[in-house]
Structure 1
Amino acid sequence: MDEDFRSLIDMAEAAHDERMIKNAVKNFAQACGFERFAYLQTEGLEVRTFNSYPKPWQDVYLNSHYARIDPVVTEAKRRMDVFAWTADDWPDRGTSELRRFRDQAVEHGIYSGVTIPVEGSFGSKMMLTLASSERKADISKLQDGRKALQVVMTIHYRLKIIGATMLVAPKRMLSPREAMCLMWAIKGRSAGDTAKLTGIKERTVQHYLDSARRKFDAKTVAQLVAIVKDRGLI
Structure 2
Amino acid sequence: MDGTVRSLIDMLEAAQDEDMIKAALKSFAQAYGYDRFAYLQTEGPEIRTFNSYPEPWEGIYLTSHYSRIDPVVTEAKRRRDIFSWTADNWPARGASDLRRFRDEAVEHGICSGVTIPVEGSFGSTMMLTFASSERTLDVPPALDSKTALQVVLAVHYRLKMIAASTAISPKRMLSPRETLCVLWATKGKGAHETAVLTGINARTVQHYLDRAREKFDARTIPQLVFMAKERGLL
Runs of 4+ in 1 over 6 A off after TM superposition: 213-216, 229-234
Does the 8 A contact of 1:41 with 1:49 survive in 2?
A: yes
Question: Could you report, residue by residue, the CA deviation over 1:119-140 in whole angstroms, capped at 9, with x for unpaired residues?
Answer: 0001000000100000011213
Q: Alpha-carbon deviation of 1:102? A: 0.2
What corresponds to 1:26 in structure 2?
A: 26
Residue 23 of structure 2: SS of its match in structure 1?
helix
Question: Could you report, residue by residue, the CA deviation over 1:138-182 in whole angstroms, capped at 9, with x for unpaired residues?
Answer: 2133541100000000000000000111220254358xxxxxxx6
Residues 183/25 of structure 1: CA separation in 2 closer, same or farther (3 Å cut): same
Show the 5 A alignment for 1:152-231.
152-172=152-172, 217=214
What corresponds to 1:2 in structure 2?
A: 2
What corresponds to 2:148 in structure 1?
A: 148
Q: Alpha-carbon deviation of 1:32? A: 2.0
Residue 141 of structure 2: SS of its match in structure 1?
helix
Query: Unpaired runs of 5+ in structure 2?
Result: 180-209, 216-224
Q: Alpha-carbon deviation of 1:6? A: 1.3
Show the 5 A alignment for 1:44-83.
44-83=44-83
Residue 140 of structure 1: SS of its match in structure 2?
coil
CA distance in 2, matches of 1:119, 1:173: 26
TM-score, reference length from structure 2: 0.74
CA distance in 2, matches of 1:142, 1:115: 14
Counterpart amino acid of residue 33 in structure 1: G
Q: Percent of aligned pairs with the same residue? A: 66
Counterpart amino acid of residue 97 in structure 1: D
Moved more, 23-32 or 138-147: 138-147
What corresponds to 2:125 in structure 1?
A: 125
CA distance in 2, matches of 1:3, 1:48: 30
Query: Unpaired runs of 5+ in structure 1?
Result: 175-181, 187-212, 219-226
Counterpart amino acid of residue 62 in structure 1: L
TM-score, reference length from structure 1: 0.74
CA distance in 2, matches of 1:34, 1:64: 25
Larger Rg: 1
Residues 94/153 of structure 1: CA separation in 2 closer, same or farther (3 Å cut): same
